[in-house]
């Protein structure tokens, strides 16, 4: 018998992932967990909801594997932090790869990967752990993706691109070939990045030459953030 499934998260991304996981693999979580300050009920989706600080008292690490179902909160650092804590406690990390993704056979899928339908990953790509790749992404040959990045739908990463850890690539964004993107960068939805981007920087929608050093402080849940930055 396989291990039981522990999910960190109860938000909208979690709901989306669990719906897809159930439809494709006929698997449902056994237990949910979040930080105690967000744990305001005993059950979630008909399953126990346990404070994260008490998780070892309820879930034996030898019996559970986990998925951190958290999106780009704090530029992906929340997902990276919670996954690291669970691994250090001895829980094994589960990856989800949609059966409708098209991934070159030579690609190694690291732990904590979440790859949705219609993603295309070409040969000789290196993926880090804990990445989320939403539907219809393209990642070109010989590219390297760091840890804990988030790719919105329909992003296009051309060949021989390097993207550092904890980056956010918005929907319909394009990164041209041979570009290097530093860690903790934001490439806004609809942007076209034509040159290298230093760590902690922002590429605004429609203005690939407008770069700032305030990516880590940006609230990605604000739908006006890219528009307001373009006016500065």
Single out the residue in 94, 109, 139 at which a domain terminates: 94
Residues 40 and 107 occupy one common structural domain: no
What span, in angstroms and rounded, lies between the C-alpha atoms of 111 and 207? 35
Residue 30: its H or E element: none
Verify that 87 and 140 share a domain, yes or no: no
Q: What is the dihedral of CA 9, 13, 19, 21, to 10 degrees?
A: -70
Q: Are residues 132 and 174 in the same domain?
A: yes
Whether 157 has a pLDDT exceeding 80, the answer reads: yes
Domain-terminating residue out of 94, 112, 146: 94
In terms of domains, do 128 and 79 share one? Answer: no
Is residue 222 domain-resident? no
231 contacts: CB under 8 Å, gap ≥ 6: none
How many other C-beta atoms can be found within 10 angstroms of the C-beta atom of residue 166?
26
Per the domain annotation, does 53 fall within a domain? yes
User: Is the domain of 189 the same as that of 117?
Assistant: yes
Residue 118 and residue 147 share a domain: yes
- Split into its structural domains, the chain has a count of 2
Average pLDDT over residues 93-112: 97
DSSP result, 57-95: HHS-TTTEEEEE---STTTTHHHHHHHHHHHHTTPEEPP
**How many Cα atoms sit within 13 Å of 42 on the Cβ side?**
0
Q: Over 60: is that where the pLDDT of 232 sits?
A: no
> Cα–Cα distance between 103 and 107 in angstroms, integer?
7
- What is the CATH classification number for the domain harbouring 137? 2.160.10.10
Q: Distance between CA 66 and CA 5 in Å, rounded?
A: 6
**How far is residue 204's CA from residue 196's CA, in Å, rounded to a whole number?**
14
213 lies in a domain?
no
88 and 106 in a single domain? The answer is: no
Q: Do 166 and 137 lie in a common domain?
A: yes
Sheet holding 174-175, edge to edge: 102-103, 120-121, 138-139, 156-157, 174-175, 192-193
CATH number of the domain enclosing 44: 3.40.50.20
Residues 83 and 172 in one domain: no
As a whole-number percent, the residues of the chain with pLDDT over 90 amount to 84
Residue 217 falls inside a structural domain: no
Q: Is 41 exposed, middle or buried (0-12, 13-18, 19+ CB in 10 A)?
A: exposed
| pLDDT higher than 70, residue 5 | yes
Mean pLDDT of 82-111: 97
Mean pLDDT of 209-215: 54
Residues 75 and 130 in one domain: no
User: Within 10 A of 21 (CB to CB), how many other CB atoms are there?
Assistant: 21
- Tell me: pLDDT of 225 over 70: no
232 in a domain, yes or no? no
Q: Is there a domain that residue 231 lies in?
A: no
Q: Is there a single domain that holds both residue 167 and residue 90?
A: no
- Classify residue 228: in a domain, yes or no: no
Three-state SS for 139?
A: strand
Prediction pTM value = 0.90
Least confident of 22-31, 104-113, 139-148, 198-207: 198-207
Domain-located, residue 122: yes
Tell me: is residue 159 an annotated ligand-binding position.
Answer: no
* Residues 77 and 9 occupy one common structural domain: yes
- Residue 26: pLDDT band (50, 70, 90) is confident
- Sole residue written with tokens 């098209």: 102
Question: Domain limits at 72?
Answer: 4-94
Mean pLDDT, the chain, rounded, equals 91
pLDDT in tens, 36-58: 999 999 999 999 999 999 999 99
Categorize the per-residue pLDDT at 7 as very low, low, confident or very high, splitting at 50, 70 and 90.
very high
Q: Give the alpha-carbon dihedral of 150, 152, 156, 157, to 10 degrees.
A: -10
């Amino acid at each position: 018998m396989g291990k039981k499934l522990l999910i960190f998260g109860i938000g909208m991304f979690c709901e989306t992932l669990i719906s897809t996981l159930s439809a494709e693999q006929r698997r449902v979580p056994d237990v949910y967990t979040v930080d105690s300050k967000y744990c305001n009920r005993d059950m979630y989706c008909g399953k126990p909801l346990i404070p994260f600080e008490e998780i070892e008292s309820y879930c034996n690490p030898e019996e559970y594997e986990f998925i951190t179902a958290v999106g780009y909160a704090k530029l992906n650092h929340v997902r990276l932090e919670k996954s690291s804590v669970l691994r250090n406690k001895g829980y094994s990390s589960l990856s989800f790869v949609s059966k409708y993704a098209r991934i070159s056979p030579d690609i190694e899928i690291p732990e904590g990967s979440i790859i949705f339908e219609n993603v295309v990953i070409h040969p000789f790509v290196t993926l880090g752990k804990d990445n989320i790749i939403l539907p219809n992404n393209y990642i070109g040959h010989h590219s390297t993706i760091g840890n804990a990045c988030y790719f919105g739908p329909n992003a296009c990463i051309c060949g021989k691109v390097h993207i550092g850890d904890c980056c956010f690539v918005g929907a319909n964004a394009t990164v041209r070939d041979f570009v290097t993107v530093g860690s903790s960068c934001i490439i806004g939805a609809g942007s076209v990045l034509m040159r290298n981007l230093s760590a902690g920087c922002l590429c605004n929608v429609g203005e690939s030459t407008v770069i700032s050093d305030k990516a880590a402080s940006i609230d990605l849940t604000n739908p006006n953030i890219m528009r307001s930055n373009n006016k500065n």
